[in-house]
Amino acid sequence: MKVINTENAVGTILGHDITEIVPGEFKGVAFKKGHVIKEGDIERLLRIGKEHIYIFELNEDEYHEDEAAMALGKLICGNGIHYTNPPHEGKINIEPEYRGLLKINRELLDEVNDIEDICIATIHGNRLIEEDELIGGCRVIPLVIKKEKIEEVRKIIEEKGPIFEIKPFIPLKAALIITGSEVYKGRIEDKFGPVVEKKLAKYGSEVFYKAIVPDELEIIKEEILKAKKVGAEIITVTGGMSVDPDDKTPGAIKATGANIVSYGSPVLPGAMLLFAYLDSIPVFGLPGCVMFNSTTAFDLLLPRILAGETIVRRDITRMGYGGQCLKCDVCTFPNCHFGKY
């Protein structure tokens, strides 16, 4: 790039987009990169405040900001991710190709952003992303960047994988076991089941097996084992998760021989949630807050399970940072801080 006086720029090729801002009226590109400057352009450029401009002269070892942004986009986007082309004012957007669970390699993102002149901004990962939502943006800071900087990014990505990925949701056959003697004996109507069914359906899974059982450990245990036998791929057991003497769900899940990953989570609401694996089948013990609150620990783990991820205890204990729901009047989850770390 070469800097010249604007008044002497007639006939030269503009080396970058020039943005014009008219407060309250307009913000956008006044002149595009590659524009051949005419006599009539000079006064407008000066009004914008451009007394000097860059004209396009690249060395062999340099990228223009647009070329650099596209080179980065090719490197950082994994399965289910694309970037916008052409760049706009040196920036590309990172977008999903389909609905799914957004995964962002945070450590890799930090490592790449630590390279001078590289800028990649993102939303949080481990969340549902819809096809029309924005994931992030990418650009380089200077107008011209040495190719060796992009090569440095390439070497890191080749070793450690892409930064962004979308995992599609896998429809699973779900079993729903409603506990509570008051429901079993018909004293009250079950309100818990429909909530869980709706949450499962959001990710493409349906309840194919449903049972209502009293608060008796052996009966709950046998119903869980029956659900497994008939082909359940995920099992949800509602209620009976507190420390009351009538609450038998945690003991029943443990009695099946399931591996308890965690009984309790550092999330509010959702502290009493239990998560386990019965062989390879994920099993949830759901506390009453799942029925009452729109968003709980269950909503943080469920999309990850339905995207095929295996959850370990560390995944749950990490949820404490960002694990306090503010119970906003209008819930915007997952477009909020809840469950993000």
pLDDT band at 293 (very low <50, low <70, confident <90, very high): very high
Q: pLDDT tens digit string along 81-115?
A: 999 998 987 899 999 999 999 999 999 999 999 99
As to burial, measured by CB atoms within 10 angstroms (0-12 exposed, 13-18 middle, 19+ buried), residue 222 is middle
At 180 the three-state DSSP class reads coil
Average pLDDT over residues 206-213: 98
Quote the CA–CA distance of 162 and 159 in Å, as a whole number.
9
Number of other residues whose CB lies within 10 A of the CB of residue 195: 18
How confident is residue 25, by pLDDT bands cut at 50, 70 and 90?
Answer: confident
Alpha helices in 49-128 (DSSP H): 65-76, 106-113
Residue 2 confidence (pLDDT) above 90: no
- pLDDT, tens only, 299-338: 999 999 999 999 999 999 999 999 999 999 999 999 999 9
Single-letter amino acid code for the residue at 92: I
* 3-state secondary structure (DSSP) of residue 107: helix
Over the stretch 223-253, which tens digit does the pLDDT of each residue have?
Answer: 999 999 999 999 999 999 987 777 899 999 9
How many Å apart are CA 48 and CA 41, to the nearest integer? 11
Which residues of the chain form CATH 3.90.1170?
A: 62-167
CATH of domain 62-167: 3.90.1170
> 2-55, which class in CATH?
alpha beta
How far is CA 116 from each of CA 113, 119, 141, 236, rounded to the nearest angstrom? 7, 9, 9, 48
* pLDDT at 56 > cutoff 80: no
Instruction: State the pLDDT at residue 90.
Output: 85
d(CA 166, CA 128): 9
CB-based contact 13:36 (threshold 8 Å) = yes
Whole-number pLDDT of residue 231: 98
- Please give the CATH topology (third level) of the domain spanning 173-320: Molybdenum Cofactor Biosythetic Enzyme; Chain A (3.40.980)
Q: List % helix, strand, coil for the chain (3-state, nearest 5).
A: 30, 30, 40
Cα-to-chain-centroid distance, residue 6: 45
Which regions of the chain carry the CATH code 3.40.980.10? Answer: 173-320
Residue range 5-15: mean pLDDT, rounded: 87
pLDDT of residue 242: 82
User: Cα separations (Å) of 49 from 1, 27, 77, 177, 249?
Assistant: 19, 14, 37, 68, 70
DSSP 193: H
> Which two structure tokens, joined as six digits, stand for 97?
């190709």
Instruction: Give ranges for CATH 3.90.105.10 in the chain.
Output: 2-55
pLDDT score at 86 = 87
Residue in the structure block whose two tokens are 């004012």: 89
What is the tens place of the pLDDT at every residue in 265-281? 999 999 999 999 999 99
User: Measuring CA to CA, how many Å separate 270 from each of 55, 297, 316?
Assistant: 59, 5, 11
Q: How far is residue 93's CA from residue 89's CA, in Å, rounded to a whole number?
A: 11
Tokens of 207: 């309840």
Q: Distance (Å, rounded) from C-alpha 111 to C-alpha 141?
A: 16
Q: What is the pTM of this model?
A: 0.87
Three-state secondary-structure class, residue 289 = helix
End-to-end CA distance of the chain: 41
Instruction: Please determine, for residue 181, whether its predicted confidence score (pLDDT) is greater than 80.
Output: yes
Six-digit token pair at 286? 């759901």
